[in-house]
Structure 1
Amino acid sequence: MPSGTEKAKEKFMQGVEKTRAPAEGSGVFGLSTALWLARSGYRRVTVFDMQDTASAGYDPGAGIESASADINKIIRFSYGSKIEYQRLASQAAEIWDEWNRDIAGLAEDELPEVLRRGQRQLWYKCGFLRMGAGSEFSDFELQTLRNMEKEGIRDTQFKSDDDAGEFLVSEVLLAFVAAHIERAERNGWAHKLDVCRRRERFGVHKAVLDSSAGFVVAYKACAWAQHLARKAGVEFILDREKGKVVGIDMTDHHKPVVRTADGVAREGDLIVVAGGGWTAGLLPEAEGLIETTAGSVATIQLPKDRPDLWDRFSPENFPVVTWGMSEGTGNDKDIYSFPRDENGIIKIGFRKTKWTNYSDVAGKSISVPKAAEKNIPMPAIEGIKEYISVNFPELAGLGLSSTWLCWYTDSIDNSFVVDFVPGRPRVAVCSGGSGHGFKFLPILGREVVKILEGKGDQTVYGQMWKWRASTAEKRNGLEEGEEGPRALEKQQMASREDWVF
């Protein structure tokens, strides 16, 4: 029988429903929700996914296709005017630190299999270099720094020079630069302030290094979160038939039902659809609010006989880097890259254009993931190769070693969507990660549970993430539809021959 606390909630979860497709069935949004529900006293929490993420350890090399099942993801706190996300990311970082400590202190047989191999560490505070592509700091960057000041963490940010520098004579500018570099040296970060030698090579380097940021090993982090959820009592149904959700219905007595590909219908008290790129396919009413889009990813494999490159691009010597990201200055490049991982892989991503793939879903044309697509469009290849040629010319001779499309779910305003679905009693949605959700894995579910318990109107995140509409002319590309220029079918896809510089 439930305890008094559990009884008071009277919302025991039978299913935390994920997706019917190779996307994020047991990805970040679903994992975090399930973990926090279980830890909040809910029973019979069940996660459905058609992929066996447990056996594969979320390893993308084992064939798991999901935005969450990735090599690595950025942990950042730079959010321009959106200070609420900055604050939530800072709270999540405290738990990332805790998870690192917990894992380091456990015996090998107490860890999920994937964490018994190689390095155990999930979260690397290697720094995050926000590098401009032009000669001035963007409004986004300046607003970010103002918010860092407001939160009392401005001292974690190291500027490459002063934004007033262009109005000063060169001697004074050099003094400003020297002062910033001296502070970075004093704190042990100077070697990461201009890793591309842009000031030496181009005479200008507008960048900010966030010493509190870095990256997490994504697939190991998901495996750890699933491990914690299982320990908390969450059940996982991970099977191509039993875990593949094909529909959500309602019983005569107003209980939601999950239908899976094996023909079984499971009734629940509440269903949370956290399906990543397949969410809109299960909830057609979300059309116009969220849209499945793909970012383009490429990798470079460092040769093992090049210790100079292994050392240069290690997390100890190299930060996460973005180039011309969301600047709004006409110099937008929207490229990001990571230090090498433990296997010598450098991952580089292109987000300037987010591709769509429209298909018929229950009579509606909806963008859905294009499974197993390993090629990326030519504009993405060209953007990635430009980034490497300009900033890391020593890597150009190696060529690219792989490419793929990473399927996200964008919302109309890049803010998450966590709310009950209009017209569907006891069915909620948890989606709209918009390419920046992973960092919140340890803490997102805390806010989701508040919303599911009807406290959304009392929290800033419940207000930000509620079901909404927009009449704006531009809605993050969602206004384009299947006739828009981002449709994959309209793109020339790159081949292996295009990987060579």
Structure 2
Amino acid sequence: MTTPIKPTSKILIVGSGVFGISTALWLARAGYADVTVLDMQDTASAAYDPGAGIDSASADLNKIIRFSYGTEIEYQRLATEAAGLWEEWNRDIASVAADADTAADTPERKALLSTLLRGDGDGGDESKLKLWWNVGMLRMSCKEEFGSFEMETLENMEKEGIRDYQFRSDDEQDLARAKERGWAHKLDPCQRQERFGVHKAVLDSTAGFVAAYKSCAWAQYLAKKAGVKTLLDPVRGKVVDITSKDNHPVAVTADGVEHVADLIVVAGGGWTPSLLPEVKDLLETTAGSVATIQLPKERTDLWERFAPENHPVITWGMRQEKEVYSFPRDENGVIKVGWRKTKWTNFKDVHGGHRLSVPKTAHVTEEKEDRIPAQAMEGIKEYITLNFPELVSLGIASTKLCWYTDSIDNSFVVDFVPGRPGVAVCSGGSGHGFKFLPILGREVVKILEGKGPNTVYGQMWKWRAGEPLKERNGLEEGEGGPRVLSKQTMVGTADWDATAA
């Protein structure tokens, strides 16, 4: 049995992404004085910026903030609570900016503001300082009727008293309410009703997106301010093995140093299974497919149309057959489009001869990859061609694989690892974890303190290998399945064909 942690316990967290940095922040806030985050990527100096070569799911341009969870009411409630903290973070950042350039300003705050103000758009400093953008999310059906997941979501929102903020495109009362509240212009940005004669969608006016890498930089700033230490280095911060010594867990880094601790929390995102092969029946490293479109600054019509003030986050055919999403442009005119229908795997030998899926990124891994499978490109191409034909001629500016961990049932895994005293896993974001950045660590700390069996999320996120589950989420396929990256034809920006429909 793991010894309960104390305020003086030495705690190491492997990974500075959402799960790791949120846990570190809340541990420090709970009074734990010796918390250190290790990472093989210098997310501090690079400010998590993917443009600076940081490869992780957390280091992204933007992430969706949604509250539509079908029958999963616990996640809906936690997301709603997190929204209040996102609002608080926006206010806090504005306060930090207001105090800048004063005699009391610190180098850390100056560096933070430099990160938050990156970009050469015309939105002004105030717009760049926002992390959370309440631009709404349009859940578009790819069929002539809504799917069951959408109807379950609306039913649960009715029960929770937030249905009033959802606007169905085919409901006269909803349309009138959307017009009254200033949301009507975001109900059909693709002009599908006019062009195709049918448009089934629901606009969630409570949803939107966050600037992802900037949000992580802010969270790391808050964690350091609360006393968290970091070791972010490609050698000294790279954990290559987790062992034990004198009944204490040990993190061995690439320079051969053994870091003895009272508790080690493995929150390594896509690298988690390779460090803890025991999770192979619970977690699998997978990749989503992402592409970007660059709007020319001189195209003021497109610049205005796809601005966050005028354009929502869009999902198309989710839980149906398309599963594509897109964002408004960022301050640099970049529109991100993602394809989630298939999540790819990449099997390699890891510790002890285990064959596990591991990341294959553009910068960090030994084998590099900045292309996406042809099937994903076709899905993205179809989405753009059907919904935004005016963007087709611009082509694709970049492609990448976004590596994270899928859990067996899409729910997180936060618990102590059986047979590994003093070692916990904190992973399994399954493509929906980022929205919980401001609040996730609060629930993780309860679990690390041994209170998990008495909390809702401790029960939801517990170690559950071997338990009968309704969903398998593809983990049962293994290396013989169709999602393996080596079986795919890979394509990049040069393979975009503007003439193909």
TM-score normalised per structure 2: 0.92
Same amino acid, percent of matched pairs = 69
User: Does 1:419 pair with 2:419?
Assistant: no
User: Does 1:115 pair with 2:116?
Assistant: yes
Letter in 1 for 2:169: S
CA RMSD in angstroms, aligned pairs only = 1.3
Q: Is the Cα–Cα contact under 8 Å of residues 255 and 267 in structure 1 kept in the other structure?
A: yes
Q: Using the alignment, how far apart are the partners of 2:296 and 2:12 within structure 1? A: 43
Alignment of 1:147-186 (within 5 A): 147-162=156-171, 176=172, 179-186=173-180
Secondary structure of 1:397's counterpart equals: helix
User: Does 1:89 pair with 2:79?
Assistant: yes
Q: Using the alignment, how far apart are the partners of 1:47 and 1:496 within structure 2? A: 36
2:401 corresponds to which residue?
A: 405
User: Does 1:263 pair with 2:272?
Assistant: no
Q: Using the alignment, how far apart are the partners of 2:455 and 2:227 within structure 1? A: 27
Alignment of 1:237-316 (within 5 A): 237-252=231-246, 254-316=247-309
Pick closer, same or farther for the CA change 1:204–1:247 going to 2, 3 Å. Answer: same
Q: Using the alignment, how far apart are the partners of 1:374 and 1:120 within structure 2? A: 29
2:136 corresponds to which residue?
A: 127
Among 298, 314, 339, the alignment partner of 1:321 is 314
Secondary structure of 2:213's counterpart equals: helix
User: Does 1:499 pair with 2:496?
Assistant: yes
Among 50, 56, 59, the alignment partner of 2:46 is 56
User: Does 1:386 pair with 2:382?
Assistant: yes
1:4 corresponds to which residue?
A: none
Q: Is the Cα–Cα contact under 8 Å of residues 131 and 207 in structure 1 kept in the other structure?
A: yes
Secondary structure of 2:13's counterpart equals: coil
Secondary structure of 1:379's counterpart equals: helix
Alignment of 1:290-369 (within 5 A): 290-327=283-320, 332-362=321-351, 363-369=353-359
Pick closer, same or farther for the CA change 1:490–1:9 going to 2, 3 Å. Answer: closer
TM-score normalised per structure 1: 0.92
Among 59, 65, 87, the alignment partner of 1:75 is 65
1:202 corresponds to which residue?
A: 196
Secondary structure of 1:305's counterpart equals: coil
Q: Is the Cα–Cα contact under 8 Å of residues 71 and 218 in structure 1 kept in the other structure?
A: yes
Bigger shift: residues 465-474 or 49-58: 465-474
Letter in 2 for 1:404: K
2:122 corresponds to which residue?
A: none
User: Does 1:488 pair with 2:482?
Assistant: no
Q: Using the alignment, how far apart are the partners of 1:212 and 1:192 within structure 2? A: 13
Letter in 2 for 1:207: A
Secondary structure of 1:15's counterpart equals: strand
Q: Is the Cα–Cα contact under 8 Å of residues 140 and 316 in structure 2 kept in the other structure?
A: yes
Secondary structure of 1:322's counterpart equals: strand
Give the Å deviation of 1:180.
Answer: 2.7
Spell out, residue by residue over 1:80-117, the C-alpha distance to the aligned partner (whole angstroms, 9 max, x if none).
00010000001111000000001011133535130243
Alignment of 1:458-497 (within 5 A): 458-469=454-465, 470-471=467-468, 475-497=472-494
Secondary structure of 2:382's counterpart equals: helix
Give the Å deviation of 1:13.
Answer: 4.0
Q: Is the Cα–Cα contact under 8 Å of residues 318 and 324 in structure 2 kept in the other structure?
A: yes
Among 211, 214, 223, the alignment partner of 1:220 is 214
Secondary structure of 1:350's counterpart equals: strand
Pick closer, same or farther for the CA change 1:86–1:270 going to 2, 3 Å. Answer: same
Q: Is the Cα–Cα contact under 8 Å of residues 401 and 499 in structure 1 kept in the other structure?
A: no
User: Does 1:432 pair with 2:438?
Assistant: no
2:445 corresponds to which residue?
A: 449
Q: Using the alignment, how far apart are the partners of 1:13 and 1:291 within structure 2? A: 30
Secondary structure of 1:212's counterpart equals: coil
Q: Using the alignment, how far apart are the partners of 2:129 and 2:492 within structure 1? A: 35
Give the Å deviation of 1:15.
Answer: 3.3
Give the Å deviation of 1:474.
Answer: 5.8
Q: Using the alignment, how far apart are the partners of 1:261 and 1:134 within structure 2? A: 51
Q: Is the Cα–Cα contact under 8 Å of residues 276 and 432 in structure 1 kept in the other structure?
A: yes
Secondary structure of 1:359's counterpart equals: strand
Letter in 2 for 1:266: H
Which stretches of structure 1, 4 residues or longer, exceed 4 Å deviation after superposition?
470-474
Letter in 1 for 2:376: A
Letter in 2 for 1:26: S
1:5 corresponds to which residue?
A: none
Letter in 2 for 1:187: R
Q: Is the Cα–Cα contact under 8 Å of residues 12 and 269 in structure 1 kept in the other structure?
A: no
Which sections of structure 2, spanning at least 5 residues, go unmatched?
120-127, 363-368
Q: Is the Cα–Cα contact under 8 Å of residues 297 and 348 in structure 1 kept in the other structure?
A: yes
Spell out, residue by residue over 1:390-449, the C-alpha distance to the aligned partner (whole angstroms, 9 max, x if none).
000010011111000000100000000000000001100000000000000000000000
Q: Using the alignment, how far apart are the partners of 1:341 and 1:496 within structure 2? A: 20
Q: Using the alignment, how far apart are the partners of 1:76 and 1:474 within structure 2? A: 22
Spell out, residue by residue over 1:175-221, the C-alpha distance to the aligned partner (whole angstroms, 9 max, x if none).
x3xx3322110010000001111111111111100001000000100
Spell out, residue by residue over 1:277-336, the C-alpha distance to the aligned partner (whole angstroms, 9 max, x if none).
010001011111100000000000000110000000000000000000113xxxx10100
Give the Å deviation of 1:12.
Answer: 3.5
Secondary structure of 1:199's counterpart equals: helix
Q: Using the alignment, how far apart are the partners of 1:12 and 1:50 within structure 2? A: 26
Q: Using the alignment, how far apart are the partners of 1:395 and 1:445 within structure 2? A: 40
Which sections of structure 1, spanning at least 5 residues, go unmatched?
1-7, 19-24, 163-175
Secondary structure of 2:235's counterpart equals: coil
2:366 corresponds to which residue?
A: none
Secondary structure of 2:414's counterpart equals: strand
Spell out, residue by residue over 1:360-419, the C-alpha distance to the aligned partner (whole angstroms, 9 max, x if none).
002000000012211000000000000000000010011111000000100000000000
Give the Å deviation of 1:471.
Answer: 4.3
Q: Is the Cα–Cα contact under 8 Å of residues 447 and 461 in structure 1 kept in the other structure?
A: yes
1:193 corresponds to which residue?
A: 187
2:392 corresponds to which residue?
A: 396
Letter in 1 for 2:373: P
Among 20, 23, 26, the alignment partner of 1:33 is 23
Aligned residues: 468
